[in-house]
């Protein structure tokens, strides 16, 4: 999200749904191409990258570690905490992330690896032009809750929430 207040629209993603969508992304990525390996954008891209690496039988997985959000979900300055070693211009590499939101993180990675194939599980309209392949589009004003970010708990029915 680009602002400090998460949107009231939420999209919770279960482990099963994430696995199914990451596998669907692998189906799209296997067509007609062989890859040198995967570069996962940590942290969100780590789980999808592991699933895709298994499905594509890729054994070379590296990470680029970037911080672009603060703990209150506000977009901050892009900081590369760990870069990858010797990827060249990215040709033949897959960049995997869980989500492209505003496209700021994707743009920073694209500048480093302009010929890599960028794939995400989820895409929002503002960031969608930055990726080559994605599975599910969600609206820009929706906050996605990934399974590693939440714990199961009771949720009020929508009608009860509206009452107050």
**Residue 102 labeled ligand binder:** yes
**Residue 43 labeled ligand binder:** yes
**Residue 32 labeled ligand binder:** no
| Active-site residue, 89 included | no
Helix then strand then coil, % of the chain, to nearest 5:
30, 30, 40
89, 91, 101, 141: which one is catalytic?
Answer: 101
**Residue 85 labeled ligand binder:** no
| Residues written for the chain | 164
**Residue 27 labeled ligand binder:** no
3, 57, 98, 141: which one is catalytic?
Answer: 98
- CA 163 to CA 67: how far, in whole Å? 38
**Residue 71 labeled ligand binder:** no
**Residue 69 labeled ligand binder:** no
**Residue 104 labeled ligand binder:** yes
| Active-site residue, 71 included | no
H-helix segments, the chain: 15-30, 46-56, 104-112, 158-163
Residues 6+ apart with CB under 8 A from 138: 11, 122, 123, 124, 144
97, 132, 141, 149: which one is catalytic?
Answer: 97
| Active-site residue, 101 included | yes
The alpha-carbon radius of gyration of the chain (Å, integer) is 16
Residues 6+ apart with CB under 8 A from 86: none
**Residue 99 labeled ligand binder:** yes
> Which residues sit in the known binding site for guanine?
101, 144
Binding residue ranges: 43-44, 97-105, 143-144
Binding residues for 5-phospho-alpha-D-ribose 1-diphosphate: 43-44, 97-105
As annotated, the active-site residues are 97-98, 101
């Amino acid at each position: 999200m680009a602002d400090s207040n998460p949107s009231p629209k939420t999209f919770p993603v279960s482990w099963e749904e994430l696995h199914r969508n990451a596998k669907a992304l692998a189906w799209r990525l296997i067509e007609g191409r062989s890859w040198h390996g995967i570069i996962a954008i940590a942290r969100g891209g780590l789980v999808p990258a592991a699933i895709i690496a298994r499905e594509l039988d890729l054994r070379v997985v590296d990470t680029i570690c970037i911080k672009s959000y603060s703990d209150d979900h506000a977009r901050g300055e892009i900081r590369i905490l760990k870069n990858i070693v010797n990827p060249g211009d990215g040709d033949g590499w897959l960049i995997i992330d869980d989500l492209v939101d505003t496209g700021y993180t994707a743009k920073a990675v694209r500048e480093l690896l302009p010929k890599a194939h960028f794939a995400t599980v989820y895409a929002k309209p503002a960031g969608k032009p930055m990726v080559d392949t994605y599975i599910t589009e969600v609206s820009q004003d929706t906050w996605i809750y990934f399974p590693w970010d939440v714990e199961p708990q009771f949720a009020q029915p929508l009608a009860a929430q509206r009452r107050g």
